[in-house]
């Protein structure tokens, strides 16, 4: 046992001390934040100012456009031909020409300028024109404007409540799906990234012949487990650091937007207010549901599936690494034996977040090869009977990784000593028996 | 007293028999040569001795006892194919390997320092393995093998990649370890080294033990009663009854004695013929010749 511990320590420290570890650990969350900041900045700075002159043949649009979204409107009573000549000298960026329509159902205005409008800017202008046209029609048809507004603003938002639970517990399908995707993908990425790391490291140890020296002191199984666990601890360390960074960011954002959040939750609980702003209400419900999630419990279960799934797949990756020849490319065909079930898991997961109570969801979240990705993806939903499924799934996962480490150990101890010849799946089977 | 006893060891990989019924003993304090052409089954046998793989049948006794985990600590094994972690520093790497052999951290650190000083490479402690030449890495590997003061040292091609100066340095250390009481199994296909270093050998071919014994005895056993004579004189001897002339060149004569002839008689005959003898010796076959002859027997 103390030898495994020595190996774990070496595997852990040589990786954690690397500059690249520090960089990826710190930069990954910063990268995500930077990505969000940049996309917000792009969205904000996307507006260019346009001064637009309106030539209106109907006479009904005068002074009706709002100056917003970067558009500033002026109205001139002149001909289009004349304005075409002088609009530049008058410092306009474009001409909006509204001809007399044949009927008020089809409006065909023209926007003339040196450069085309982008899709967003175009839709801004279009929506202004249709808003004004609607008002013109309301006048013409003598429709009760307020009645129409009420009809147009019907807001339907289903609140799901779980029967038998406390009344104030709100379920949010949107939250479930979002959380499910996030957790499932996180495990998927972790399995692939750290699994590949194990495989490469084993293959390197084999081709550099270090393994020949190490196994004169320790059993192959000890070396394999030491490596799998050591690299797993590196992953866990990274996860914990990211967790703290997230909590830090969450707290900072919470402080900055404290007022906004309170406002939102008031909106959620006040039907009169939420009627006016349907989107806001949905967001508020989402946030309210998120507040009710037991984050600590969620994190605990997530870590369990991370550890269990990682040991299960990590040991299989180690076995594949042990079969590596001198050229790493030849290893690809063996690699896929292990990556295929992970990829199948993610495919199942995307369907499970839509139907978290389906039979497929139940089976896939109990079967140990798929459960590490599929089960966490269901945690965001309130599912009847989830607890016994969770218990069964966890037991199966533990049995699963005991089995795969045993299996991998048998392949590994032969594989690491095989030199030269290209290894096939058939060979792996033979080592397993031998 | 034997440090190692092998009794009817068998090992197969699928249909390939890597070791067939191999038995031999290694005496305590001996320098023992394990010889054989490539693919003869030496490495498999060594892996069985070091408990890296298990034999299909047969028994191994180390220091009089059946193999147990603790034996790892009295064996020092330097494999033929050997590497080190490239990114680690010499000092920490050696300490790590020492600790894997059961030394405490403090103990391992002290021993590594002593060894580095003894080989006059104390300044290597903080060097990265990848910055060392192949020969330099060999030295580090040799230190790693001996760090825990093993009673049985198994060295597989220990001199490959070493220049003559460093070869001698390592050779001296091997003898020094032996003087301190270690037994050494030396596996190689470099026969001149065997004659120089080993007292006893076993020769393995096609997984089988085909020859075994003390180096001197074996050379005697395979001698062909050949003698070499260096002489001064213009005329070569013509009449040599009981001898067959193998080589005759200016001043050199190689003769093969037929049944029942002694070297003294030969010398007398040559002197009688008026030759001025400068040098006379019996030609014993080298281990290399014996090796090739034995391996080529169908």
For residue range B102-157, list pLDDT tens digits in order: 899 999 999 999 999 988 888 999 999 999 988 888 889 999 999 998 999 999 88
Report the alpha-carbon distance of residue B197 to residue A225 in Å, rounded: 40
Tell me if chain B has a CB within 8 Å of the CB of A10.
yes
CA of B48: how far to CAs of A209, B59, B201, in Å?
18, 10, 18
Tell me if chain A has a CB within 8 Å of the CB of B85.
yes
Phi, psi of B26 (to 5 degrees): -120, 120
Band (A24; pLDDT cuts 50, 70, 90): confident
Q: Do A213 and B88 touch (CB under 8 A)?
A: no
Domain ranges of chain A: 50-152, 170-261+293-433
Q: Give the DSSP H or E segment for A71.
A: strand A71-75
Return the structure tokens found at A2.
């103390």
| Number of Cβ pairs < 8 A linking chain A and chain B | 56
For chain A, what percent of residues have pLDDT higher than 70? 84
CA of B123: how far to CAs of B116, B119, B130, B165, in Å?
8, 11, 15, 19
Chain B CB contacts of A201 below 8 Å:
none
Residues 6+ apart with CB under 8 A from A372: A187, A191, A305, A306, A308, A309, A310, A312, A313, A345, A397
Report the alpha-carbon distance of residue B155 to residue B80 in Å, rounded: 8
State the Rg of chain B over Cα. Answer: 24
Tell me if chain A has a CB within 8 Å of the CB of B125.
no
Where does chain B hold its CATH 3.30.70 domain(s)?
223-296
Q: Do A6 and B144 touch (CB under 8 A)?
A: no
> A256 or B107, which is more confident?
B107
pLDDT at A306: 92
Dihedral angle over CA of A6, A10, A12, A13, nearest 10 = 120
Q: Is pLDDT of A309 > 90?
A: yes
- State the best of B51, B93, B100, B132 to mutate against chain A, taking most chain A CBs within 10 Å: B100
Nearest to A369 by CA among A393, A336, A333: A393
Report the alpha-carbon distance of residue A433 to residue A407 in Å, rounded: 10
Q: Is pLDDT of A271 > 70?
A: no
- Say if residues A338 and A408 touch (Cβ distance below 8 Å): no
Q: Do A216 and B53 touch (CB under 8 A)?
A: no
pLDDT at A237: 92
Residue A364: count of CB within 10 angstroms of its CB:
25
**Mind giving me the DSSP string for A342-383?**
HHHHHHHHHHHTTSTTSHHHHHHTTSTTTHHHHHHHHTTS--
Band (A391; pLDDT cuts 50, 70, 90): very high
Binding-face residues of A in 181-210 toward B, CB within 8 A:
208-210
Alpha carbon of A216: minimum distance to chain B alpha carbons (Å): 7
pLDDT at A367: 95
Q: Do A216 and B85 touch (CB under 8 A)?
A: no
Tokens 């001197």 sit at which residue? Answer: B216
Chain B CB contacts of A217 below 8 Å:
72, 97, 100-101
Return the structure tokens found at A282.
């949905």
Q: Give the DSSP H or E segment for A404.
A: helix A386-415
Listed in sequence order, the DSSP H helices in chain B are 42-49, 90-100, 105-118, 134-146, 164-179, 191-197, 215-221, 263-272, 287-296
Chain A CB contacts of B81 below 8 Å:
209, 212, 419
Highest mean pLDDT among A80-94, A321-335, B101-115, B181-195: B101-115
What residues are paired with B35 via a beta bridge?
B188, B203
Return the structure tokens found at A351.
């369907």
Q: Is pLDDT of B222 > 60?
A: yes
Tell me if chain A has a CB within 8 Å of the CB of B34.
no
- A339-381 tens-digit pLDDT: 999 999 999 998 888 888 889 999 999 999 999 999 988 887 7
Q: What is the CATH number of domain A50-152?
A: 3.40.190.10
Cross-chain CB nearest to A212 (options B13, B81, B85): B81
Alpha carbon of A213: minimum distance to chain B alpha carbons (Å): 6
CA of A211: how far to CAs of A208, A218, A345, A385, A422, in Å?
8, 10, 33, 48, 19
CA of B211: how far to CAs of B6, B7, B204, B260, in Å?
15, 16, 7, 27
- State the best of B85, B102, B160 to mutate against chain A, taking most chain A CBs within 10 Å: B85
Nearest to A201 by CA among A14, A343, A21: A14
Chain A CB contacts of B88 below 8 Å:
14
- Say if residues B126 and B160 touch (Cβ distance below 8 Å): no
Q: Do B83 and A208 touch (CB under 8 A)?
A: yes
Tokens 């511990």 sit at which residue? Answer: A5
Alpha carbon of B58: minimum distance to chain A alpha carbons (Å): 18
CA of A346: how far to CAs of A369, A376, A398, in Å?
11, 11, 20
Q: Which residue of A has its CA nearest to B54?
A: A434
The interface predicted TM-score (ipTM) is 0.80
- B185-204 tens-digit pLDDT: 988 877 777 888 888 999 88
Report the alpha-carbon distance of residue A87 to residue A259 in Å, rounded: 46
Chain A CB contacts of B74 below 8 Å:
none
Alpha carbon of B79: minimum distance to chain A alpha carbons (Å): 6
Report the alpha-carbon distance of residue B183 to residue A282 in Å, rounded: 80
What residues are paired with B76 via a beta bridge?
B153
> A411 or A294, which is more confident?
A411
Chain B CB contacts of A3 below 8 Å:
100
Query: Which string of b and e fits B233-272 if b means at least 16 CB within 10 Å?
Result: eeeebeebeebeeeeeeeeebebebeeebeeeebeebbee
Strand B200-205 with B31-35, pairing: parallel
Assess if CATH 3.30.70 describes domain B223-296. yes
Chain B CB contacts of A417 below 8 Å:
47, 52-53
Where does chain B hold its CATH 3.40.50.300 domain(s)?
2-219
Q: Do A216 and B96 touch (CB under 8 A)?
A: no
For chain A, what percent of residues have pLDDT higher than 90? 26
pLDDT at A274: 45
Return the structure tokens found at A113.
């300028």
Chain B CB contacts of A215 below 8 Å:
52
- Say if residues B270 and B237 touch (Cβ distance below 8 Å): yes
Q: Is pLDDT of A269 > 60?
A: no
- Say if residues A387 and A365 touch (Cβ distance below 8 Å): no
Q: What is the CATH number of domain B2-219?
A: 3.40.50.300
Band (A282; pLDDT cuts 50, 70, 90): low
Average pLDDT (A311-328) is: 85
Listed in sequence order, the DSSP H helices in A160-294 are 173-207, 210-214, 220-256, 258-269, 271-276, 278-292
- Say if residues A321 and A198 touch (Cβ distance below 8 Å): yes
Nearest to A247 by CA among A21, A38, A29, A27: A29
Report the alpha-carbon distance of residue A361 to residue A154 in Å, rounded: 36
> B90 or A30, which is more confident?
B90
Tell me if chain A has a CB within 8 Å of the CB of B14.
yes
pLDDT at A257: 66
Band (A44; pLDDT cuts 50, 70, 90): low
Residues 6+ apart with CB under 8 A from A403: none
């Amino acid at each position: 046992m103390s030898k495994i511990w020595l190996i774990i320590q070496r595997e852990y420290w040589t990786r954690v001390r690397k500059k690249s570890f520090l960089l990826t650990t710190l930069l990954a969350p910063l990268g995500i934040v930077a990505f969000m900041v940049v996309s917000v900045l792009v969205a904000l700075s996307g507006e260019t100012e346009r001064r637009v002159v309106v030539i209106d043949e109907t006479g009904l649009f005068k002074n009706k456009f709002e100056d917003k979204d970067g558009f500033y409107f002026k109205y001139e009573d002149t001909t289009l031909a004349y304005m075409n000549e002088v609009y530049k000298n008058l410092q306009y960026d474009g001409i909006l020409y509204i001809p007399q329509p044949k009927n008020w159902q089809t409006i065909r205005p023209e926007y003339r300028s040196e450069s085309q409008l982008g899709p967003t800017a175009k839709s801004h202008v279009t929506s202004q024109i249709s808003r004004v046209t609607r008002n013109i029609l309301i006048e013409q048809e003598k429709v009760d404007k307020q009645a129409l507004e009420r009809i147009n603003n019907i807001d339907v938002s289903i609140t799901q409540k779980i029967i038998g639970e406390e009344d104030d517990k709100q379920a949010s399908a949107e939250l479930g799906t979002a959380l499910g995707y996030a957790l499932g993908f996180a495990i998927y990425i972790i399995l692939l990234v750290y699994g590949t790391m194990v495989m490469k490291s084993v293959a390197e140890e084999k081709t550099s012949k270090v393994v020949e020296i190490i196994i004169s002191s320790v059993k192959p199984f000890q070396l394999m487990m030491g490596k799998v666990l050591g690299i797993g601890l590196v992953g866990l360390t990274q996860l914990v650091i990211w967790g703290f960074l997230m909590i830090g960011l969450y707290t900072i954002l919470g402080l900055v937007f404290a007022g906004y959040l309170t406002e939102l939750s008031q909106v959620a609980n006040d039907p009169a207010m939420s009627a006016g702003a349907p989107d806001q209400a949905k967001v508020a419900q989402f946030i309210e549901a998120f507040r009710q999630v037991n984050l600590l419990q969620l994190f605990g279960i997530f870590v369990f599936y991370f550890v269990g799934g990682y040991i299960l797949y990590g040991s299989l990756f180690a076995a594949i690494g042990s079969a590596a020849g001198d050229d790493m490319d030849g290893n690809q065909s063996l690699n896929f034996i292990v990556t295929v079930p992970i990829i199948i898991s993610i495919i199942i997961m995307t369907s499970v977040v839509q139907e978290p109570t389906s039979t497929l969801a139940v089976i896939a979240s109990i079967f140990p090869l798929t459960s590490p990705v599929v089960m966490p993806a269901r945690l965001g939903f309130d599912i009847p009977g989830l607890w016994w499924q969770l218990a069964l799934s966890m037991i199966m996962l533990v049995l699963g990784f005991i089995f795969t480490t045993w299996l991998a150990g048998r392949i590994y101890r032969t594989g690491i000593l095989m030199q030269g010849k290209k290894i096939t799946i058939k060979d792996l089977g033979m080592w397993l028996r031998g | 007293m034997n440090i190692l006893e092998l009794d009817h060891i068998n090992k197969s990989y699928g249909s390939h028999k890597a070791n067939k019924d191999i038995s031999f003993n290694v005496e305590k304090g001996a320098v023992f040569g394990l010889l054989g052409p490539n693919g003869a089954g030496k490495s498999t046998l060594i892996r069985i001795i070091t408990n890296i793989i298990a034999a299909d049948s047969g028994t191994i006794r180390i220091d009089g006892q059946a193999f147990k985990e603790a034996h790892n600590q009295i064996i020092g094994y330097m494999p033929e194919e050997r590497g080190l972690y490239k990114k680690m520093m010499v000092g920490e790497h050696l300490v790590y390997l020492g600790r894997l052999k059961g030394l405490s951290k403090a103990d391992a650190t002290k021993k590594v320092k002593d060894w580095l000083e003894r080989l006059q490479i104390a300044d290597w402690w903080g060097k990265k393995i990848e910055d060392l030449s192949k020969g330099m890495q060999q030295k580090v590997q040799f230190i790693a093998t001996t760090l825990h003061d093993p009673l049985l040292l198994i060295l597989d091609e220990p001199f490959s990649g070493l220049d003559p100066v460093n070869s001698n340095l390592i050779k001296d250390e091997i003898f020094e370890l032996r003087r301190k009481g270690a037994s050494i199994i030396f596996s190689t296909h470099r026969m001149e080294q065997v004659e120089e270093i080993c007292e006893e050998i076993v020769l393995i071919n096609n997984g089988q033990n085909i020859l075994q014994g003390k180096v001197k005895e074996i050379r005697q056993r395979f001698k062909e009663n050949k003698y070499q004579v260096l002489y001064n004189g213009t005329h070569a001897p013509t009449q040599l009854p009981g001898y067959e002339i193998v080589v005759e060149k200016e001043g050199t004569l190689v003769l093969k004695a037929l049944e029942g002839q002694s070297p003294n008689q030969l010398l007398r005959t040559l002197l009688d013929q008026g030759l001025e003898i400068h040098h006379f010796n019996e030609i014993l076959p080298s281990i290399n010749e014996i090796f090739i002859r034995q391996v080529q027997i169908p």
